[in-house]
Structure 1
Amino acid sequence: MEGHACPHEDILETMRKLLVAAALAGCALSPLTAYADAPGQSPAEKADPAAREISADQIEATVQFLADDLLQGRDTGSEYYDIAAAYVASRYRAMGLTPGVDGKWMQDITFRKASPAESTLAIVQDGKAKELELKTDFITGASFTDQLIDMSAPMVFVGQGIHSPENGIDDYAGLDVKGKVVVVVSGAPKGVPGDVAATLSRGKTKVASDMGAVGMISIRSKSAMESLPFEKLVGYIEGHAEKWVAPDGTVVVDAPNLKFSTYLSPEAAADLVDSSGHDLSALLDAYESEEEDAVRPTGFVIPGEVKVKAVSEWEEVTSANVVAVLPGSDPQLADQYVVMSAHLDHVGNHLWEAGEDEDGEPKDTIYNGALDNAAGVATMLEVARVIAENPTAPRRPILFVALTGEEKGLLGSEYMAKYWVREDGEPVGVVNFDMPVLLYDMDDVVGFGAENSTMGETLAAAGAATGIGVTPDFLPDENLFVRSDHYSFVKEGVPALFLMSGVENGGKEAFTNFLKTDYHGPGDDLSQPLNWESARKFALLNYEIVKLTANADARPMWYEGNYFGDKFDPEGPRAPAPAEAAE
């Protein structure tokens, strides 16, 4: 039974299967034989012998290895992740690729685990202190910069805490928050495009810090409470969190002035805001309005002070990005790296969930991550294999990276984007592979980021060549563009593309059902009805994208007037926006 000790014979049998899977995944196919005579080939396969080499069997073998119980869910910093990393490095070596980090395959990263050990919070008004109850009234996350926080400060309500002049929104207008604690409603303004709204929402702690605030009290919006009640939020925050440690030994945080951040329960939040003479429910209703002429509430001072004491415990672990390079053939483009990325980590073995299910059987506690993201790594490795074995080298160099720490908050990719591993060039475009839902016959994909840069035109050309359609985002409320590793590079100004399996042939139902049932759960394992032909088509499309990007005359460019380009790469080259993007 998964998640529990098995008899000696079962261990031997599982090891045998792992060895067979590893051997198959590491063996190169004979040149130009796979699918050579297959009917119904796409134009890409007819024109390019290497495209015909993409193998469903190779992808399946890789997933079988990475998602096996013996790898215990590949948690960042665990020995099981290290086994997976060594496996990926061995695959790189077998392909004839070059180590990507000063002659090594691994970009080692130190991560600090911070856990809240003790937290107290009181609201002091009119000389009286009201003590709030931990996990019932509030929950405070751990600090990565201070193991002991003991402070008091006045409070200011700043609405949703958005400062975005380019969108005509400034919730801080007329407010002095220096040395104070800001009280913020979660979420972002309605009517702002989803990807932009998600960026604004994620950036509000940095904005508060830049404005001089010393702490943040968050109040959940009504829609946020519906999707994630306070009781469940407590479960997420009371555990440890992680950040990477910079080479100089410091932990880099986006909001260094914020000494603490806490969430209030709906009842505690209502008491706090009501004490200022305002009605919290009415304020929250205003933020839910989608009317174009809706008036955003203005900020105000909340009487009294908040008194906080918080203790954090720290532990440091090491994990690595696994990096390889395929040199380009054009000396004029040798410093322009195309990046192929996929996160190798998942969320490990949840031993604390052990017990019996409703049928009296032992619970499965291993979160194998077959689709999230063994399938993405397998796709990357298969694309890397056929590119590396192609006698015609790409014009631009390609950097392949299996990333760590994605499940901890895109940490491995953030570290690589900030501490780029190559002194001989820079990243010019990223193609990211994360969680293709291979549970149906895939005929189309969603291209996150396609509307931002010329990489969208590359996707369209690759789709036409492979016969795979491109579908608009069918889950805009999930804000998937900002939730995978390519976004770390976007924040450093690099155009990026992230593909997800699409909606045709039951794709929408398969994806939404996976999110509800098996995503980040023990059900994302090898028992799922995985469709390996869909995996091959997904790899074929991504191969075509990477090939076109690496061989194009021009590097990927942000479109003129694009929000992400203007925000993160204001001085970079631009391409004219297509008519539909300019409207």
Structure 2
Amino acid sequence: MNTFRLLALFGVLLLPNVNATPFQFDEKTYRQDVETLASDKFEGRGPLSQGETLTVEYLEKAYKAIGLKPGFGDSYRQAVPMAKITADQTMQLTIPDVVFNNGRDFTARTEQIQPQVSLDNSDIVFVGYGINAPEYQWNDYANIDVKDKTVIVLVNDPGFATQDPNVFKGNAMTYYGRWTYKYEEAARQGAKAVFIVHETAPAAYGWNVVENSNTNTKYTLVDDQNNQSHIGVMGWIQHSTAQTVFQKAGLDFDKVKLTAAKAGFKAIALNLKANLVVKNTIELATSYNVAGLLPGTSQSDEWLVMHAHWDHLGKTVQDGKTVILNGAVDNASGVAGVMQLARHFNAQDKAPKRSILFTAFTAEETGLIGAQYFASNPPVPTKQLVSFLNIDGMNVGKGVDYILRYGHGVSQLETYLDAAAKAQGRTVKADPRPQNGLMFRSDHFALAQQGVPGLLFMSLGDTDPDYIAHKYHQGADDYDANWHLGGVKQDLALISDIIEKLANNNDWPKWLEESDFKKLRAQDGK
């Protein structure tokens, strides 16, 4: 097929369905959904809590009322086996004779299913960014044995540190910069503990986010070995804490840090010992993903997924007071948006050719746990999933003349985004903060790891500069009756346009850049 015919065919695939009813935003229902899900009654929607029970019941009732079929066989729920781990927050970290206080100076937790994890005179090694990336000719663990030791690593990756486009991906974070990768690689290397040095710019959030996210109950999937392959201690330390530790080793942390961004960096044994006891209360329980299905017609075995995670951080204690982290924008706004889309498509006179699965997963905030379980245990094989569209926080303010694109040249879904934005008279704007690695921080990434291409729709701090600093993962993320919601309306209409096209054509959007994702999709014959 020649280039002209190929482009013409792809243009036809992007044409809207002339029989489709334009998206109608039901503001009253949307507000009701967000206000309810983000109310104190729902206790911050923490997994394995009374808040989860209320949330799952609310979603299941809504999906039934909309007219969706059960998404998991005969059930709207997918059971996700999890452990609820609550660490004793009176812990202290000692290196070697300096005592650091939990919350203020460091955080520590574990995903291992055991009542206590300890560091007993554990040798400390600084391993730079903690990255082993053959494709970038980079290995911070080269020629160093960290088995059963405590490693200190830097957040983000050398590309951000140098701002050199020839180092990793320059300012744009790679997965090697994510805290999840740091823990995974250290575990592969045999380390006992990891402490990531927090700095606001490379982390993309302040210490308050780290503290709120890691000093309350956490959750994890459970394997048949009680997660013993996971790192023993998953920690963060303040920049000032790192400076003190390195000073004790006779080193200047800020000078040593600069050397870690250069090729050929060699790990440094600090000749210091770490001592810490993490005592855990463990509860094995079941959480739930929720999904409703709109069956397709002629291509019903091909599924499109429209998603938003339902969970937030539950409750925490600050200054002796219980604070409910309601997560109105993150992500009650997204869950309510998915329900709006479900109502719209179920109300169409003609069902789509492909099936549409409307999903809400558990425990995104703890590391994409619900998404990981779904990706490993999908209701149909992942090779039948056309794409995964993911809302993680909506623009509850006024509409804007652009839509953000996370990543560039990643998959052909970007073409759909371009077309839908153009139809609205909007432009597509590159992620203004590629260093934040948002491509790897929400549920679509778990499906990408199985080869399913996705799009992320996120408006957390872009239209509200105050959000990240004072609301994100904090008690101030509450529903506000004064929200304009113009941004929600226009973004849901845009997403509706993309769903309409994908649900009624024969296209299988492909990965563009070379990656493990692309290889997996190719193995599926897509």
For normalisation by structure 2, the TM-score amounts to 0.82
Structure 1 CA distance, aligned partners of 2:157 and 2:177? Answer: 7
CA drift of 1:162 comes to 0.8
> Which deviations, in whole Å up to 9, do the C-alpha atoms of 1:475-512 show, x marking residues without a partner?
3343322222212212222211011349xxxx94x322
- Counterpart among 356, 361, 372 of residue 403 in structure 1: 361
> Which deviations, in whole Å up to 9, do the C-alpha atoms of 1:441-486 show, x marking residues without a partner?
2332112246311111111122223334321112334332222221
Structure 2 CA distance, aligned partners of 1:137 and 1:532? Answer: 39
Comparing 493-502 with 565-574, which one deviates more in the overlay?
Answer: 565-574
Instruction: Tell me the equivalent position of 2:126.
Output: 157
Structure 1 CA distance, aligned partners of 2:501 and 2:375? Answer: 23
CA drift of 1:232 comes to 7.6
Structure 2 CA distance, aligned partners of 1:208 and 1:372? Answer: 30
CA drift of 1:378 comes to 1.8
Q: Is the 8 A contact 1:243 1:251 kept in 2?
A: no
2:122 matched to 1:170? Answer: no
Q: Is the 8 A contact 2:409 2:513 kept in 1?
A: no
Structure 1 CA distance, aligned partners of 2:246 and 2:383? Answer: 52
Alignment of structure 1 residues 315-394 onto 2, 5 Å: 315-331=283-299, 334-348=300-314, 365-394=323-352
Quick one: which amino acid aligns to residue 71 of structure 2? Answer: G
Q: Could you list the runs of 5+ residues in structure 1 that have no partner in the other structure?
A: 1-42, 124-128, 356-363, 575-583
Structure 1 CA distance, aligned partners of 2:245 and 2:476? Answer: 41
Paired residues, number = 501
Instruction: Tell me the equivalent position of 2:215.
Output: 238
Alignment of structure 1 residues 166-245 onto 2, 5 Å: 166-189=135-158, 190=160, 191=164, 192-193=168-169, 196-202=173-179, 203-220=181-198, 223=201, 228-229=206-207, 233=210, 236-245=213-222
Instruction: Tell me the equivalent position of 2:266.
Output: 298
Q: Is the 8 A contact 1:420 1:426 kept in 2?
A: no
Q: Could you list the runs of 5+ residues in structure 2 that have no partner in the other structure?
A: 1-13
Structure 1 CA distance, aligned partners of 2:250 and 2:519? Answer: 38
Alignment of structure 1 residues 130-145 onto 2, 5 Å: 130=97, 132-135=99-102, 139-145=107-113
Instruction: Tell me the equivalent position of 1:310.
Output: 278
Instruction: Tell me the equivalent position of 2:3.
Output: none
Structure 2 CA distance, aligned partners of 1:273 and 1:199? Answer: 24
Larger Rg: 1
Alignment of structure 1 residues 518-533 onto 2, 5 Å: 518-533=471-486
For residues 399 and 160 of structure 1, do their structure 2 counterparts lie closer, same or farther at Cα, with a shift above 3 Å needed?
A: same
Partner of 1:497, secondary structure, is strand
Instruction: Tell me the equivalent position of 1:40.
Output: none
For residues 172 and 423 of structure 1, do their structure 2 counterparts lie closer, same or farther at Cα, with a shift above 3 Å needed?
A: closer
Q: Is the 8 A contact 2:91 2:276 kept in 1?
A: yes
Alignment of structure 1 residues 398-547 onto 2, 5 Å: 398-422=356-380, 426-449=384-407, 451-501=409-459, 508=462, 510-547=463-500
CA drift of 1:567 comes to 7.9
Structure 1 CA distance, aligned partners of 2:495 and 2:116? Answer: 48
Structure 1 CA distance, aligned partners of 2:248 and 2:324? Answer: 47
Structure 2 CA distance, aligned partners of 1:139 and 1:568? Answer: 36
Structure 1 CA distance, aligned partners of 2:195 and 2:142? Answer: 19
Partner of 1:417, secondary structure, is helix
Instruction: Tell me the equivalent position of 1:14.
Output: none
Q: Is the 8 A contact 2:204 2:436 kept in 1?
A: no
For residues 227 and 441 of structure 1, do their structure 2 counterparts lie closer, same or farther at Cα, with a shift above 3 Å needed?
A: closer
Structure 1 CA distance, aligned partners of 2:238 and 2:332? Answer: 37
For residues 284 and 573 of structure 1, do their structure 2 counterparts lie closer, same or farther at Cα, with a shift above 3 Å needed?
A: farther
- Counterpart among 266, 276, 279 of residue 252 in structure 2: 279
Comparing 304-313 with 80-89, which one deviates more in the overlay?
Answer: 304-313
Instruction: Tell me the equivalent position of 2:58.
Output: 87
Q: Is the 8 A contact 2:91 2:101 kept in 1?
A: yes
Partner of 1:558, secondary structure, is coil
Quick one: which amino acid aligns to residue 504 of structure 2? Answer: N
> Which deviations, in whole Å up to 9, do the C-alpha atoms of 1:118-151 show, x marking residues without a partner?
646555xxxxx64644437654324433322344
Instruction: Tell me the equivalent position of 1:19.
Output: none
Q: Is the 8 A contact 2:450 2:520 kept in 1?
A: yes
Instruction: Tell me the equivalent position of 2:517.
Output: 565
Quick one: which amino acid aligns to residue 256 of structure 2? Answer: L
Partner of 1:343, secondary structure, is coil
CA drift of 1:157 comes to 2.6
Q: Is the 8 A contact 1:428 1:556 kept in 2?
A: yes
Partner of 1:109, secondary structure, is strand
Structure 2 CA distance, aligned partners of 1:121 and 1:64? Answer: 41
Structure 2 CA distance, aligned partners of 1:44 and 1:370? Answer: 35
Q: Is the 8 A contact 1:111 1:243 kept in 2?
A: yes
Q: Is the 8 A contact 1:449 1:497 kept in 2?
A: no
CA drift of 1:413 comes to 1.8
CA drift of 1:168 comes to 2.6
For residues 62 and 279 of structure 1, do their structure 2 counterparts lie closer, same or farther at Cα, with a shift above 3 Å needed?
A: closer
Structure 1 CA distance, aligned partners of 2:139 and 2:516? Answer: 19
Structure 2 CA distance, aligned partners of 1:397 and 1:559? Answer: 25
Structure 2 CA distance, aligned partners of 1:479 and 1:498? Answer: 12
Structure 2 CA distance, aligned partners of 1:410 and 1:195? Answer: 21
Structure 1 CA distance, aligned partners of 2:324 and 2:188? Answer: 41
Q: Is the 8 A contact 1:326 1:398 kept in 2?
A: yes
Comparing 273-282 with 179-188, which one deviates more in the overlay?
Answer: 273-282
- Counterpart among 85, 110, 131 of residue 114 in structure 1: 85
For residues 73 and 45 of structure 1, do their structure 2 counterparts lie closer, same or farther at Cα, with a shift above 3 Å needed?
A: farther
Q: Is the 8 A contact 2:108 2:214 kept in 1?
A: yes
For residues 185 and 427 of structure 1, do their structure 2 counterparts lie closer, same or farther at Cα, with a shift above 3 Å needed?
A: same
Structure 2 CA distance, aligned partners of 1:528 and 1:555? Answer: 40
Structure 2 CA distance, aligned partners of 1:268 and 1:83? Answer: 40
Comparing 220-229 with 414-423, which one deviates more in the overlay?
Answer: 220-229
CA drift of 1:325 comes to 1.4
Q: Is the 8 A contact 2:403 2:429 kept in 1?
A: yes
Structure 1 CA distance, aligned partners of 2:420 and 2:72? Answer: 30
Quick one: which amino acid aligns to residue 233 of structure 2? Answer: F
Comparing 163-172 with 183-192, which one deviates more in the overlay?
Answer: 183-192
Quick one: which amino acid aligns to residue 252 of structure 2? Answer: D
Q: Is the 8 A contact 1:394 1:550 kept in 2?
A: yes
Quick one: which amino acid aligns to residue 207 of structure 1? Answer: E
Structure 2 CA distance, aligned partners of 1:489 and 1:154? Answer: 37
For residues 527 and 96 of structure 1, do their structure 2 counterparts lie closer, same or farther at Cα, with a shift above 3 Å needed?
A: closer
Structure 2 CA distance, aligned partners of 1:219 and 1:284? Answer: 10
Q: Percent identity?
A: 26
2:509 matched to 1:556? Answer: yes
Q: Is the 8 A contact 1:114 1:242 kept in 2?
A: yes
> Which deviations, in whole Å up to 9, do the C-alpha atoms of 1:28-67 show, x marking residues without a partner?
xxxxxxxxxxxxxxx9999444224443444334334333
